[in-house]
Structure formats: C-alpha cells, structure tokens
Amino acid sequence: MFYTSTRDKTVKVTASQAITQGISSDGGLFVPEDIPEFSTDELIEYSKLDYIGRAKAILSMYLTDFSQEEIDLCVKGAYAQGKFSSEKVAELKQLKDGVNVLELWKGPTCAFKDMALQLLPHLLTTSAKKTAKGKEIVILVATSGDTGKAALEGFKDVDGTKIMVFYPSDGVSPMQKLQMTTQEGSNVNVCAIEGNFDDAQNGVKSIFTNKETKKKLDDKGMMFSSANSINWGRLAPQIVYYISAYCDLVSENKINVGDLINIVVPTGNFGNILAAYYAKEMGLPIDKLICASNKNNVLTDFLMTGKYDKNRDFHTTSSPSMDILISSNLERLLFLLCGMDDIQVRSWMASLTNSGKYDVGKNMLKKLNSIFAAGFCDDEKTKMTIAKTYEDFNYLCDTHTGVAVNVYNSYREESGNTTPTVIASTASPFKFSASVLNALAPEKAKGLDEFEMVCELSKITGLECPPQLANLASKKVRFTDCCSKDEMGKKVLDLV
C-alpha cells in the first residue's frame, strides 16, 4: 500500500515514509491510496481476538512495508499488560439498553490520545530505521490539552528523538497543564504560547514547511515529524478501537455480526471521528457517525450547511480539548469524498488560509449528510448532562464525554434513531475535576484548589482518582516558558 498527499496526488510514499515525515512537503496530509476492506467472516474472527490481536490484524492492512514481526513488536510494546488499567485496553460500559460508552482513557495519561500515542513511538522509530538514514527525529506537537501529555509520555527518553510541545497558555485545564509542565524525560520540552490552539497548530505547520528551518535541521542530522493526528501513524491506531468496540458488542451478545451501530464522537480536530469513518469504509456496519461539538461549533455548522467558516468568536470552554476552529483532519475526509481531487482540495484549503472559509457545495453536502449527523452544546448543558447521567445511570463522565452524551440524546430524540450506539469517552473525569465537581455538587467546590477538588470528587462518587493524576500534586514543575506564536520557530531551533 502506498500513500499520497491531499494536495498533490502525484506523491507516492510508503507507510514508513508517511509516518516519518508526518506531513507532506506541499502542506497536505498523507492518506492511503486505497482503503482496505475486511469481510464479515474476518469480522467474526476479530471478535474472537483480544485488543492486541485485533490491532495487529487491522494495522497490517495499512503498514504493508512493516514485517509481521515489526508489527507484533510495536503493538505489544504499546498495549502490553500494565500499560493500560483495563485488560481490554478500550473498555465498553453500558449506559442503558442499546447505548454503550467506550472508555478510551485507561492509559498512562488518562486520555484517549494514549490509544495512539503509546503506539506511535514504536511505529516512528521502526519507520525511521527504514527511511531516515540515522537522522534524529524532532517531533513537534500542538496541543489543546491531551495530545501534549500523551505525546510527551510516549516519547520520553526514546532514543533518536526530541519532542517539543506547544500549548495555549490559557486554553488547558489546570490538571492538563500540570501533566505537561512536570513531564520527566531528558529529550522533552514544553512551551506555552500566547494564543489559542489554532495559533499553536498553525505555528507548528508553518515550521514544518519552512525550508530554511528544515535545512538547519538537516545540517545537524535531524528531521521533523509530528505526533499530532496530521501524522498517519497517529490516525491509523484510532481505527482499531472502533472495530474492537463492535467486536466486543458481538462477543457480549449485544448485537449480531452485520447489525448496524451508531458512533458518537466529541471532536474538534476531526481526527477521532475520521478514524471511525475509515472503519466504516473498511466494512464496519455503521449507520450514522454523530459529530459532537462544544460552543466552538464550527464542525456542526459545516456538516449542516457545507460551509466552513472560522471567522467567529473563539470560546474557552470546560471541554478545552475541543476548543478548535481549524479542524485539520477534515481535509482528509474532503479529499476522499471528492474522489481524490487534489486541485479541488488545494482550492478549498487556499480559501481557508486567505479568507478563513470555504463552501463545498450542495453535492458534497449531500454526501456528508448521508454519513454524518452533528450537534453541539454549551457549558451549561454539558454541566447538566454530567449531573443527569450520574443521577440516572450512576456513570461519571468528563466534560468532553458530557458533550457527546448531550448531543446523542438530542439526536436520538429528534431523529427517532434507536440503533445500538457507541459513545466515545475521551478522558477521565478527574482530569477536569473542577468542572465535574461543579456539575455534581457546586456548593462543595467553593474555595478548594485543584487537588482538594479531586479528593472531594472521589469522596462523593466513591471513585478512585487515577494515581498518575493524584501524584501530580507532589511533582516539580520543570517547564515555565511562554512565547508568542511568532517566536515558536526560534524556540524549536533553540531546542535543537
């Protein structure tokens, strides 16, 4: 299998090259030339496997220049016993009949990004041996909260790599900030920026495509790569957990093989729901993909109108990992839906850069509506949903999962669609203890600091805070730098 660029379909690279480079030199994203498919019989066989077995089977279809031994080592290295607090790695919890929550936050940083970022270092180092000719890999990351810590944890002290993470100074939760600024490892660096996630993401993309900066790295025997979901090595592992969730529903006799399901995903950058779309195209029986947004509802508006417009107020919300106005992975979807028309995609992306908006037209909108539903909710509705979900089902969800539950409830009521559903739960509620505690018992949150709120939340729910979060209270802050978005390139050069 070869990969091409969303902005130049004459590009042809292997999986290893795509993973090592992270982003195409033309600024486009790598996508497989063809989407592999599996049969019903193969889906039945996957249902008999554990998560590691399913991951090896699915990833083998995409990483065709990896040997089976290499895939085996990568997958076992990521998901071996002890890495995740659940033996199933990604565990389904039933909320009510026909509605299940897929807990994707059982990894070392308590966020769904671990599902890919525990694997990516193995994929990247294996790829680099094939394609990078001994160069040191400098990994740049823009984060709205969870990706940064997951990437830092995945790449800390990995030979042949350095990693630099940029996060919006006022756009992450206190717990997310502490997770990053206390990060251990000799090859890691963290810097806040004055701005929002889009500023960080645009800055990283600009550094990636800056020829002068790339030459300076090349002269030092280094090259850039990415741990954001613009890197195919981040996106491919996410396909696995949707297929695995379906297999678990089958093995638990909640559905029969071939039955349709809905999948609900809270998302800002569109990568997590795009992975579900790839699973659907591979043969997973999916009815609707339901995109859940917070008050920064640029994706909801786009999926309902076909018009993407980032020229709007940016809101800092209680679900900060979704505080995004430029959804990078949407480019991959558009490339696929327009028949890999790179000229058209270049035109849309140029319009986004120049005017902050583009319109895909009625025909494309019709395609989008046949696949996706969309909705959004603000912080107040998220808060109410967290409280009601706990009251009705004794299930505690974080602010991002709360958005997804709210949007799904509205979709189900309005559409009458009662197809069995999987809701992606993207983070531990203890990562957002202030918001969650204020949803359940606002009177008990007054005057408490972050870790006192964690203790109070644990006390009133009877749930234990994951130790990797609780132990942050005693960790020393290592990184306090903050820069403007224009200074990001200099910070990177200082690092290397």
Which residues participate in catalysis according to the annotation? 113
List of residues 6+ apart from 83 with CB closer than 8 A = 107, 108, 118
Distance CA 111, CA 105 (A): 4
Nearest to 275 by CA among 58, 79, 111: 58
Give the Cβ contact number of residue 490 at 10 Å.
12
Nearest to 319 by CA among 367, 385, 368, 251: 385
141 neighbors 166 (Cβ within 8 angstroms): yes
SS3 content of the chain, % helix, strand, coil (to 5): 50, 15, 35
Rg value, the chain, Cα: 21
189 neighbors 163 (Cβ within 8 angstroms): yes
State the pairing for strand pair 372-376/3-5. unpaired
Tokens of 150: 């997951």
DSSP string covering 281-312, please? HHT--EEEEEEEE-S--HHHHHHHHSEEE--S
List of residues 6+ apart from 381 with CB closer than 8 A = 406
End-to-end CA distance of the chain: 34
> Cα separations (Å) of 494 from 208, 216, 410?
16, 12, 49
Distance CA 390, CA 124 (A): 40
Scanning 22-119, the segments in alpha helix (DSSP H) are: 40-46, 51-62, 68-79, 114-117
* Helix or strand (DSSP H, E) at 99: strand 99-103
Distance CA 310, CA 296 (A): 10
DSSP E strand stretches across 186-330:
188-194, 222-226, 261-266, 286-293, 307-309
Nearest to 14 by CA among 30, 29, 26, 2: 2
310 neighbors 358 (Cβ within 8 angstroms): no
